[in-house]
Structure 1
Amino acid sequence: MRRRSLLASSGALAAGFLAPAVLQAQGAKDFPSKPITLIMPWPAGSGVDLWHRAMADAAGKLLGQPVVVDNRVGGSGTSGPASMAAAAKPDGYTIAQMPVTLFRLPHMQKTPYDPMKDFTWILHTSGYTFGVVVRADSQFKSFKDVIEFARANPGKFTYATPGAGTSLHIGMEQIAQKAGVKFTHVPFKGGPEGWAALEGGHVMADADATGWAPLVDAGKFRLLCIWTEKRNPRWPDAPTLNELGFGLILDSPFGLAGPKGMDPAVVQKLHDAFKAALEDPKVVELMAKYDYPKRYMNTADYAKFAQQQFDEQRGVVDQLGLAKKN
């Protein structure tokens, strides 16, 4: 009896050690068995939101479960991913769009996450086409006019962005530093708020991604400059920052990630579905409409790129004098 009892105890103990690995393998095999949440840290209706909704729909069809977009706006795009890192289980059912701001803010202030420890990278997808727009009736006919006004009126040129610490904010401050002028930043929670503020005359300009494109095409806004390497054929008259003498190319690259500790097999399934979704006709259509270049990287390459971005953003923050004080 004692021997049978010991054997039974040993078997139960062994099963206890094996259970997590077995369950993890089974979970990866059956994944997904319920809807997946994709946290979108930007407002509903923005270009990046609409594009990710199309991508989520395409990936969901491939995965056999819906991918539901959950807008969690705040913290210049970091609140949603930070909440995922803090609270979500690493089971693949919660993922997030990862703005470059996540790599920058830890150098500027205390953050509730460590970008190099708290996330599992899935795939890199794209970047933005940024530009500066003014109202069609603005006194600023060119970006040179902006610089001349700012030089003559320090701090009086006001511009909107989707938030403090975003690539738009940092980019405008880099421009001001290079030009030797001072701008006044007016942060909002996302693109639509900034466009509305510009339309209402509450700010002089808006620096944002191409959510402003319909307003430019309709003749309500004027595009003064674009931040890509080359001019955009949709707006051939808008010069690049390089052409204007600033020596800057800024596109704020982004991708998808989940909480730390995800099963590699689950990561692979998500990676494969979203990589395929990049070729979906609706996704391709919206990429063209909102000028999102395809910048695919696999899981391993994205992880390396994340470290590179973290290191580069430290240098930018230091250069602008925005580093947090210890």
Structure 2
Amino acid sequence: MSHPSSRPANFNRRQILSAAAAVAAPALLPMHAFAQDKFPNRPIKLIAPWPAGGSSDGVMRAFAESASKTLGVPVIIENKPGVGGTLGAAAMVGAAPDGYTLTQLPLGIYRLPHMQKMPFDPVQDISHIVCLTGYTFGIACTADAPFKTLKEMVAYAKANPGKLEYGHTGTGTTPHLAIEEFSEKAGIQLNPIPFKGSAEIMQAILGGHIRMMSGTTEFAPHVQSGKLRLLATLGSNRNKAFPDVPTVKESGWDTITESPFGIGGPKGMDPAVVKVLHDAFKKTLDDAKVQETLDKYFMPTVYMSTADYTAYGDRTFKTEKATIERLGLTKKG
């Protein structure tokens, strides 16, 4: 004979298990949905607005690879070269502000809208996420130039107004505007010679066709080999690759030209998504491989938080407008 309480006991156990499952099911659904919605859960596109293989591309790829480890999804570089590095920002204007389309933000995005019509406003149409590094600019001359310091160069230029030429990467670019600002403060008149790119400048100066150049660290190996002399760098601090070379400001002229850059996304991004991206890319600056890449291209660490970088963008857009207007390079119409 079966125990009189066995059937009810089994039934009660089934009831309890069924009830527990019924209670747990609704709780599991939101957790599952949360897991699906958690950012990021698919690859992120990061636009490098320069050709593949260059220094900017190399640095962006190092950041992307390092950030991928923290984010847990691939960060895929897409190259969109042209228009002074502004095509990344232009491509984002119509992108969803979901954190899956990002771009490098070079200095040109704040300057070119004042010089020509652009499809974006760098303040209104971009979410500034984090600043990471920047370019090093310098003034270099041939090894046999009749001056060895920046002060001697200024004295030479004053004695020979308009005769000392320098190469730069094009009207309105940072290497051009930096020297024009310096020349104004130093009270000298130089002869600017525009080139299509760094390769042409190096051919010209190494071939003795120009005496001086303003540019980024394409001059570095030739300074190290003794073919060129680095007169000054244009940042707020000396570059650690050239600790004996003073800045322009140290040499006596209050001119600082820095070109910080970082990561941005479309306007209207969720602050929580921005924070995830900020934290992941900030962490890349602790990655030895990233620092090795920055050192390779003589780029310093220039970190700015989301708030500071946003303020920097607003401030830089205004100062670039003033510079472009002063030099008479404002867009027509």
TM-score with structure 2 length normalisation? 0.78
How far apart in 1 are the matches of 2:75 and 2:195? 28
Alignment: residue pair count? 301
Aligned residues: CA RMSD? 2.9
Q: Equivalent residue for 2:42?
A: 33
CA contact 1:213–1:290 (8 Å) conserved in 2: no
CA contact 2:126–2:266 (8 Å) conserved in 1: yes
Q: Deviations over 1:26-82 (max 9, x none)?
A: 875152413x3322234444433322221111112222333233333322222x224
> Do structure 1's residue 180 and structure 2's residue 187 form an aligned pair?
yes
Match of 2:64 among 56, 62, 69: 56
How far apart in 1 are the matches of 2:164 and 2:36? 55
Q: Equivalent residue for 1:129?
A: 136
How far apart in 1 are the matches of 2:196 and 2:283? 31
- Going from structure 1 to structure 2, the CA distance change for 1:221 and 1:264 (only over 3 Å counts) comes to same
CA contact 1:42–1:71 (8 Å) conserved in 2: yes
Higher mean displacement: 186-195 or 298-307: 186-195
Q: Deviations over 1:256-284 (max 9, x none)?
A: 10222333333232222211111100112
CA contact 1:134–1:224 (8 Å) conserved in 2: yes
Structure 2 residue runs of 5 or longer lacking an equivalent are 1-32
Q: Equivalent residue for 1:208?
A: 215
- Going from structure 1 to structure 2, the CA distance change for 1:300 and 1:199 (only over 3 Å counts) comes to same
- Going from structure 1 to structure 2, the CA distance change for 1:142 and 1:313 (only over 3 Å counts) comes to same
Q: CA deviation at 1:145?
A: 5.0
Where in structure 2 are the equivalents of 1:1-326 lying within 5 Å? 29-34=38-43, 36-78=44-86, 80-144=87-151, 146-148=153-155, 150-151=157-158, 154-188=161-195, 190-232=197-239, 234-326=241-333
Secondary structure in 2 aligned to 1:292?
Answer: coil
Letter in 1 for 2:318: D
TM-score with structure 1 length normalisation? 0.79
Higher mean displacement: 195-204 or 263-272: 195-204
Query: Percent of counterpart pairs with the same letter?
Result: 45
Q: CA deviation at 1:165?
A: 2.2
**Greater CA radius of gyration, 1 or 2?**
2
Q: Deviations over 1:202-259 (max 9, x none)?
A: 5433322224322221223221111123444543442321233321122122211022
CA contact 1:132–1:205 (8 Å) conserved in 2: yes
How far apart in 1 are the matches of 2:79 and 2:201? 18
How far apart in 2 are the matches of 1:28 and 1:198? 55
